[in-house]
Amino acid sequence: MAYKRILLKLSGEALMGERQYGIDPKRLAEYAEEIKKITDKGIEVAIVIGGGNIFRGVSGASNGMDRVQGDYMGMLATVINGLALQSALEDQGIITRLLTAIKMEQVAEPFIKRRAVRHLEKGRVVIFGGGTGNPYFTTDTAAVLRAIEIGADAILKGTRVDGIYTSDPEKDKDATKFESITYKDVMNRGLKVMDMTAFALSQENNLPIVVFDMNTKGNLEKLISGENIGTLVDK
């Protein structure tokens, strides 16, 4: 196996499936099936999900809402998504734990690094909700932070695009895909892999990032097995 412990980063928008907003149960079930394939192989899995399918703090702020208030609403949206994914994973027979950066004991455990690592060692899938617990930080940054804290081998960023391209492949038919790319090249080319805070944090800690298409069945399992799926960002 290419990796033993991974952090899977999913966007909130990915959970919408064919819908315009909210959560698509069909898409949730598909993701849960894909995750089960790798947990069955003994891979330790942690997950961070965005909240953009429910509420995005930045868009709230652009409409006149206080940015801090908006960001906290976005953090709560990630917990809602975490609960939904937790339920879908448990339907697959996977034991899970939802840990949040903001305390809400009736819903989830508070994030404690040692507890999170222990859950992973016991084969439980750990979902991190509530972002970093602080406004002005994205779930990308939360994903990198948690990955470093738990000692993950890599961040696997599941998107609807099969990797990193020279330009947006949905807008530019001449865009070409990178099989791998260095942190430095990503910065020099201005490619939007993650927001700059998250990217700088991953670069400083030599944490590899793999951007891949999560919506293609079997991709996650192939990636874990060492196949050349998506784009690897490394030093």
Residue 185, marked binder: no
Q: Residue 11: how many CB atoms within 10 A of its CB?
A: 20
With contact defined as beta carbons under 8 Å apart, do 115 and 99 qualify? yes
Tabulate helix, strand, coil % of the chain (nearest 5).
40, 20, 40
Tokens of 134: 């602080």
User: What is the β-pairing status of strands 177-178 and 164-165?
Assistant: antiparallel
Residue 157 assigned ligand-binding role: no
207 is in an annotated binding site: no
| Residue 136 counted as an annotated binding residue | yes
> Does the annotation flag 51 for ligand binding?
yes
**134 has binding-site annotation:** yes
Calpha distance 228→231 (Å, rounded):
8
Residue 176 annotated as part of some ligand binding site: no
Q: Is 12 annotated as a binding residue?
A: yes
β-bridge pairing 231-234 and 209-213? antiparallel
User: Is 72 labeled as ligand-binding?
Assistant: no
53 is in an annotated binding site: no
**Annotation-wise, does 172 bind a ligand?**
no
The answer to the question of whether 64 is labelled as a binding residue is: no
Residue 36, CB-side half-sphere exposure with 13 Å CA sphere: 16
Is 132 annotated as a binding-site member?
yes
Angle between helices 113-121 and 139-150 (to 10 degrees): 70
Q: Known binding site for ATP: residues?
A: 9-12, 52, 56, 159, 165, 168
Q: Known binding site for UMP: residues?
A: 51, 71, 132-139
Q: Known binding site: residues?
A: 9-12, 51-52, 56, 71, 132-139, 159, 165, 168
